[in-house]
Structure formats: C-alpha cells, structure tokens
C-alpha cells in the first residue's frame, strides 16, 4: 500500500497538486488534495486514478486472464471542498479504518 501512496503523491505533483492527507483501505481510498484553481477536480482525480491503475497492470500483467473485464478503479468518486472544517476532514480520513471496523461490528447484530 505504501507504494500506491508514493505513486499517488508523484501523480498529484505532476498536476501541481499535493496530497495533504490520505488513507488507503482495501476497498477504497480517502484523500485530501490541494490543487491549483487552474485544474478541475475531475481532471486531477481522473489523472491519478488512470495513471495509478497502470502500475498494478504492469506488475500483475502476466495474470491478465484473471482481470479480463475488470477495472482497477470504479468510475465514480465523491468530492467535497474543505474550508473551515479542514481539521475535521483530516480526522475523518485518519480514523476511517477504525470507523469502518466499528460499522462492520454494528452490522453483525
């Protein structure tokens, strides 16, 4: 997972952006990205998703049959702007794994 984080950071830098906070989970990623106003959020996120999918394809390319018809990323993503609540968003990202586990436990009952 650390390799993906480094890849995300390098890709963000190519769009003059910076990943401020991130947490990679098995099924999804939470990121807070600072980007210049000249880029649309969809441009930066689409670029990061598209280019980051190339690495696993190269690493696991010999297993193509297992991935036929599969996509590395879902097409959708959620975006929200951060203003006064920046610290709350950072905390949410940092604690997302524990929150997911807590919600999973609630689903057991």
Mean pLDDT by 10 residues, the chain (109 residues): 78 94 82 92 89 74 56 75 84 84 72
> What pLDDT was estimated at residue 65?
53
Q: Are 35 and 15 in contact (CB under 8 A)?
A: yes
Residue 103 CA from chain centroid, whole number: 20
> What pLDDT was estimated at residue 71?
64
Question: Of these residues, 39, 47, 60, 92, which one is catalytic?
Answer: 92
> In whole angstroms, what is the distance from residue 108 CA to residue 13 CA?
42
Whose CA is closest to 31, among 50, 61, 53, 4?
Answer: 4
Q: Are 61 and 71 in contact (CB under 8 A)?
A: no
Delineate the domains of the chain, giving CATH numbers in brackets.
Answer: 2-107 (3.30.70.1290)
> What pLDDT was estimated at residue 53?
80
Local structure of residue 1 (DSSP, 8 states): -
92 in catalytic set: yes
Residue 43, C-beta contacts closer than 8 angstroms, at least 6 positions apart:
15
> What pLDDT was estimated at residue 39?
94
Q: Are 44 and 84 in contact (CB under 8 A)?
A: no
Q: How far is CA 24 from CA 61, 63, 103, in A?
A: 22, 23, 17
């Amino acid at each position: 997972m650390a390799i993906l984080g480094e890849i995300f950071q390098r890709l963000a830098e190519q769009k003059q952006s910076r990943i401020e906070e991130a947490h990679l989970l098995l099924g999804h990623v939470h990121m807070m990205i600072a980007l210049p106003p000249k880029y649309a959020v969809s441009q930066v996120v689409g670029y990061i998703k598209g280019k980051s999918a190339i690495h696993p394809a190269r690493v696991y390319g010999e297993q193509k049959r297992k991935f036929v018809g599969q996509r590395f990323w879902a097409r959708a993503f959620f975006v929200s702007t951060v203003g006064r609540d920046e610290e709350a968003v950072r905390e949410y990202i940092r604690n997302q794994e524990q929150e997911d586990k807590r919600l999973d436990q609630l689903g057991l009952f």
